[in-house]
Structure 1
Amino acid sequence: MGVAHFAAENVLAVVCELERAFAIRLKPGLVEELHEPSDETPPRWLSYGRPPSELSLHTDYPDWPSPPRFIVMRCISVGRLPVETIAVDMSPIGMTKQQAKIFMEEPWVIRNSGKPRPIRLLDIDRRTGRSCFRYAENVMRPRFPSHSHGVAALSQVIARQVAWAHVLWPGEYIIIDNWRMLHARRAAAARPLVWHPGKGRVLQRTVLMTEHAYDPTYN
Structure 2
Amino acid sequence: MATLDTAVYEPQQHLGPTAERGWSCRCVADADPSSIVRELGRIGDHLGTRVAGRAGSLEEVIQPRAIADAHPRSLSARYGLGTLPFHTELSHRTKPCRYLLLGCIDPGSPAAATMLLDWRNLGFSQQELDLLEATPVLVRTGRRSFYSTILAPGGAFLRYDPGCIEALDARGRNALRLVEDRIAGAASEAEAHHWRQGDILIIDNWRVLHGRSPSDQGSGRRLARILIDA
Cα distance in 2 between the residues matched to 1:93 and 1:136: 16
- 1:205 maps to 225
- 1:185 maps to 212
Gaps of 5+ in 2: 1-18, 30-35, 52-57
- 2:178 maps to 153
Query: Secondary structure, in 3 states, of the residue corresponding to 2:131?
Result: helix
**Change beyond 3 A, Cα 1:152–1:97:** same
Higher fraction of strand: 1
Q: TM-score, normalized by length of structure 1? A: 0.75
Q: Contact 2:135/2:172 (CA < 8 Å) preserved in 1?
A: no
Query: Secondary structure, in 3 states, of the residue corresponding to 1:73?
Result: strand
Match of 1:163 among 181, 190, 202: 190
Cα distance in 2 between the residues matched to 1:35 and 1:140: 23
Cα distance in 2 between the residues matched to 1:28 and 1:146: 36
- 1:191 maps to none
Match of 1:31 among 51, 59, 73: 59
Cα distance in 2 between the residues matched to 1:68 and 1:154: 20
Amino acid at match of 1:56: P
- 1:216 maps to none
**Change beyond 3 A, Cα 1:117–1:202:** same
Q: TM-score, normalized by length of structure 2? A: 0.72
- 1:48 maps to 77
Per mean C-alpha deviation after superposition, the further-off stretch among 151-160 and 102-111 is 151-160
Q: Contact 2:84/2:214 (CA < 8 Å) preserved in 1?
A: no
Aligned-pair distance for 1:28? 2.4
Query: Secondary structure, in 3 states, of the residue corresponding to 1:101?
Result: helix
Query: Matched residues, percent identical?
Result: 24
Superposition pairs of residues 34-183 of structure 1, within 5 angstroms: 34-38=62-66, 39-91=68-120, 94-114=123-143, 116-124=145-153, 131-145=156-170, 148-158=173-183, 159-160=185-186, 162-183=189-210
Query: Secondary structure, in 3 states, of the residue corresponding to 1:132?
Result: coil
C-alpha distance after superposition, 1:86-108 (max 9, x if no partner): 11111388421122112111110
The number of residue pairs the alignment matches comes to 190
Amino acid at match of 2:77: Y
Cα distance in 1 between the residues matched to 2:99 and 2:144: 27
Amino acid at match of 2:169: F
State the superposition RMSD in angstroms: 2.9
C-alpha distance after superposition, 1:97-128 (max 9, x if no partner): 1221121111101112116311111113xxxx
Higher fraction of helix: 2
Query: Secondary structure, in 3 states, of the residue corresponding to 2:130?
Result: helix
**Change beyond 3 A, Cα 1:110–1:73:** same
4+ long deviations beyond 6 Å: none
Cα distance in 1 between the residues matched to 2:172 and 2:63: 37
